[in-house]
Chain A
Amino acid sequence: EDQVTQSPEALRLQEGESSSLNCSYTVSGLRGLFWYRQDPGKGPEFLFTLYSAGEEKEKERLKATLTKKESFLHITAPKPEDSATYLCAVQENSNYQLIWGAGTKLIIKP
């Protein structure tokens, strides 16, 4: 069965303390893996799309990487404004639908 698992469920960090969020997936054929950020009461904000193992993308303090089984979202020297829920989703070949993980709630304390 296709599934996406995110860990940890919640992560509390001090400002400046770098860490990583994990998204492991099981699909028959990966078309793309997507990372979104979601603030409370708002729609998901697109961050990255990754298509093949070994691919990396960066945006400010965030860096996403992809292997054949999982993706990591690395957060370097986070700030309180990075606090949000980070969602991972995968898309199978020949299927436009997204399979969503449950998200990781990230809290950055000043």
Chain B
Amino acid sequence: SAVISQKPSRDICQRGTSLTIQCQVDSQVTMMFWYRQQPGQSLTLIATANQGSEATYESGFVIDKFPISRPNLTFSTLTVSNMSPEDSSIYLCSVAPGTGEDTQYFGPGTRLTVL
């Protein structure tokens, strides 16, 4: 398994501002994923972030709204831009170690509230 940390753990932001969420892993991993989980809902994949390539976004999510960086094999950031109250969610980072193991391991999440 992998140990994953996220910063910040929670934040309250004003409408129209941006927040960058950091995801740090204790080992090198091939694939990193960003999810959103709205209150009472299951997980929705935002994008897949592989080191050395552009992130791949799912339907309904665009790079201008959710820019992602993946500078190395242990770190990624997700920015939530020009926020509105509808962006209030838990944002989760996950990793797939890529050593023949398909399991995804999740970080503790970032709880975002937009006023």
Partner pick for A43 among B31, B41, B42, B108, CB 8 A cutoff: B108
Main secondary structure of the interface of A (DSSP, over half): strand
- In the complex, residue of chain A having the shortest beta-carbon distance to the beta carbon of B107: A43
- The docked-state distance in angstroms from the alpha carbon of A102 to that of B42 is 5
- B96 CB → nearest A CB, Å: 7
The number of residues on chain A lying at the interface, defined by a beta carbon within 8 Å of a beta carbon of chain B, is 21
- A40 CB → nearest B CB, Å: 10
B104 within 8 A of A: yes
The number of residues on chain B lying at the interface, defined by a beta carbon within 8 Å of a beta carbon of chain A, is 21
B94 / chain A contacts, CB cutoff of 8 Å: 43
What residues make up the interface of A, taking CB atoms closer than 8 Å to B?
31-32, 34, 36, 41-46, 49, 87, 89, 91, 96-98, 100-103
14 intermolecular pairs with C-beta atoms under 8 Å apart: A34-B103, A42-B108, A43-B4, A43-B94, A45-B106, A46-B1, A49-B102, A96-B31, A96-B96, A96-B102, A98-B43, A98-B104, A102-B41, A102-B42
